[in-house]
Structure 1
Amino acid sequence: MTKEYSIHSFKPGLKVMIFNQPCLIQSSKFVKPGKGQAFSRVVFKNLLSGKIIKTTFKSTDILKIANIYDTKVLYLYNDSFFWYFIDIKNFEEIIVSKEIIGFKRFWLVPQLKCSLTLWKKMVISINLNNFVNLKVIKTISNLKKNSINNSMKSAILDTGISVKVPYFININDIIKIDTRNGKYVSRI
């Protein structure tokens, strides 16, 4: 039995099937004009492609619920092609391709807890905490130290990414990084 939603039930965060693909409703505005049929303006994100789509639905339209769920995992290791996780509940190994991991690979360190979003038993995205602690393995300072316009230097972290950090950060320091924008937050 498949659950369905009418346009009166649309709300942000709802995961539904649109064009046979799982989508996340980001906003929905129900409109009842003086004349004519009521409709709903919906902005949704395709969870497979990441595209944002705007569309309208008539008051008689119905959408099916997307069978999407998140599972808590522990990151183990990678071989540059696949990233290996273990499900915290049932200890099953989950293998995720480089295409799904994408840029988030720079925030993954062994034993990091995160969650994976699955649809039809396939991983479609990885969800990280907002902050991660990483070790500085190399710093590259500019010639102009203590300049007002140039108060940051480059640092290479143990995951291989380069970020801008303040001049007081040294090799082997542990720093907190915001995974949403890749910026330095603080020294640990």
Structure 2
Amino acid sequence: MNDVTIEPFDLAGRAAEALAVQAAAFGLSREEVAVRLQIVSRHALAPGVRAYGAVERSHPGAWGRLVGFAYGMPNDRSHWWSSVIEPHLEANGNGIWLDQSFSVTELHVHPDHQGRGLGRRLITTLCGGTRLPRTILSAIDRDTPARVLYRSLGYRDLANQVMFPNTTVPYAVMGARLPFPPRP
């Protein structure tokens, strides 16, 4: 297996590569990728955004192929995502999680590279650099390898069966205290 490093990456400049990884991992159509490209381009300009890529290098000095990525930013209640999840969090007494939280916006690993610890390395690097006391994210609301990973990092469900506009699959909103607990 080629070496894979976790390193900061230019979210705006490599958005198309990142979305190709997400499309492979999530089964997105060309139309969905086009819509998400606009969103990612907007997020790349957000204050406090942090982005890391899992880069496979075939030989030293090569630019490398992006095989995974994660990005996030300090949560802002005025953002679309927060406005959708806020009523669900408030109903469960978890509204405080919208403040002083780092939002993991996207985390995806190409299917050919899943199960190798890249998701864990990406999210711990991404969240490890923030000074905020907690982190939140949304994930498909069923038992998946991603949810197993998040729980192993201390994430817990804050709201379940959250339906985002234009989706047919329910999501869970999860939160964890930072820093993550040491790996056993």
TM-score (norm 1): 0.30
Higher relative contact order (CA 8 A, sep 6+): 2
More helix by share: 2
More strand by share: 1
TM-score (norm 2): 0.30
